[in-house]
Structure 1
């Protein structure tokens, strides 16, 4: 069963890769690509990056360079025209990107291919559809009840969200809402590799009773209940990205599970102000269909 479901993930991504190839000369919104892959826009980019090892934008750049390499081999078109078609406004930037991928400048690539056609434009086509190795992480499926939270929105780099937590916890502390059963939850709405850092949206949240109302910058929202994949990450927050790659790139495909059209969230089980970084416990919770 797991093998079949892994192939299903691959088929979805191969379909979207072919779609990108057929539409290289126009903008491809993330929502459009997610729909083509039949994934929620909340989760598509993480699945793509985790399984292919590159961002959607990186893959598009790569495919344009492959097409440029083919044109260098198959036509006598000027290099500057090929650079423009690949989306580069300057010959120098095209040359840098091309050399980084193929180890030769465009002119050198064309000349060497004519003299001795040993370099294929598609030499770098084979890319992983699963990461080469996993990490040791406890992952299980849990059913959550609806969680009512107070929250403060942060817009900007995720690493700079501390002021939102300070506002939230200061407000909650004054109202006596911070107890041993209070959950500290973070909700990230945007994928950092596809969204400018200044536009990233994050909600710092704490669970609250039904009687609590929002006030000022503090809002009230609910996190839907239902089935979730829960991955326990032990260690620094800097290691969370690798944990997400394991969850989205390997575990979900192998289990044949599809994320629900809602954002994932994190539950912080330890207080970073008193807990060593290597002892921090974070639960990554991905909603499942």
Structure 2
């Protein structure tokens, strides 16, 4: 059984249990990977989070059942995991544009999402430069902010860091960089980032052995194994597809919890200047924490 078969086996489990409790550990077991790796891989390959996919499928089945039966709305709500009519109505209206009651007395179109299936695609035509790096623990020092991701464009929480950093502070930060990896580090710490929903902490930072000044925040990065991928920023969804759809399935590694580190580019002080810089392609390194699984 190959990677595609494992993924589809996991999707089959989800489909068979939309009316019941779905166990994320069972999903991951069927996919032969950790829960953490599966959720990130799914998000980058499917373009939505695992949680959103399950919600969309449940609300799709609920709509079809409401349309073709006389079962009470509250009974269908409970059947698909909603314990109050209000929460079910809000979720239903968010997906379908009308309430369950309105749907039964009108003939409006519904937004129904079919079951997802992963298919084998021919990849590898675009080369990917990478290396495996085993690195001892190190410290980063920087300016941090809590970030809520948005679907399009740079995340506001990241822009806030760039906007609020002045020239003197930025120069002081760069002067602290005295160990590898050299250069400005854009560090994401937490469940979110990229196409994965959830808040995360962003650090505009450098690696340093020096004491952390009061104006900055320190983050200790443990000893880890990393896949270091050469990419050009800004990058689009196709690069995530290549990493999670081609590299990980064939590599014998899976992603583990830990910070993601992008080395470079330097920022141009002032948000307007930075946005202008980020429209030009710049080569950077992207570090993902991994473990070998086969």
Distance in structure 1 (CA, Å) of the matches to 2:201 and 2:249: 27
Q: Residues 179-234 of structure 1, C-alpha deviation per residue, up to 9 Å, x if partnerless?
A: 89732212222315532xxx5321222011x3x11121423333334432223221
Over 3 Å counting, the alpha-carbon distance change for 1:19 and 1:258 in structure 2 is farther
Q: SS at the partner of 1:161? A: helix
Q: Name the structure 2 match of 1:253.
A: 249
Q: SS at the partner of 1:49? A: helix
Q: Among residues 232, 253, 266, which one is paired with 1:271 in the alignment? A: 266
* CA-CA distance at 1:142 after TM superposition: 1.9
Q: Residues 15-43 of structure 1, C-alpha deviation per residue, up to 9 Å, x if partnerless?
A: 4665665227xxxxxxx736852655654
Distance in structure 2 (CA, Å) of the matches to 1:145 and 1:171: 26
Q: SS at the partner of 2:253? A: coil
Q: Name the structure 1 match of 2:205.
A: 205
1:220 aligns with 2:218: yes
Q: Among residues 145, 154, 157, which one is paired with 1:160 in the alignment? A: 157
More helix per residue: 1
The runs of 5 or more residues in structure 1 that have no matched partner are: 25-31, 113-118
Distance in structure 2 (CA, Å) of the matches to 1:285 and 1:169: 28
- Are the equivalent residues in 2 in contact too, given 1:233–1:240 (CA < 8 A)? no
Q: Among residues 139, 144, 148, which one is paired with 1:148 in the alignment? A: 139
Q: SS at the partner of 2:202? A: strand
1:177 aligns with 2:176: yes
Aligned pair count reads: 260
Q: Name the structure 2 match of 1:63.
A: 57
Q: SS at the partner of 1:278? A: coil
The runs of 5 or more residues in structure 2 that have no matched partner are: 149-154
Q: Residues 58-101 of structure 1, C-alpha deviation per residue, up to 9 Å, x if partnerless?
A: 2122222233145336632245754676546375873563479x
CA RMSD of aligned residues (A): 4.4
Q: Name the structure 1 match of 2:290.
A: 288
Q: Name the structure 2 match of 1:49.
A: 43
Distance in structure 2 (CA, Å) of the matches to 1:92 and 1:5: 37
Query: What TM-score does the superposition give when structure 2 sets the normalisation length?
Result: 0.66
Q: SS at the partner of 1:190? A: coil
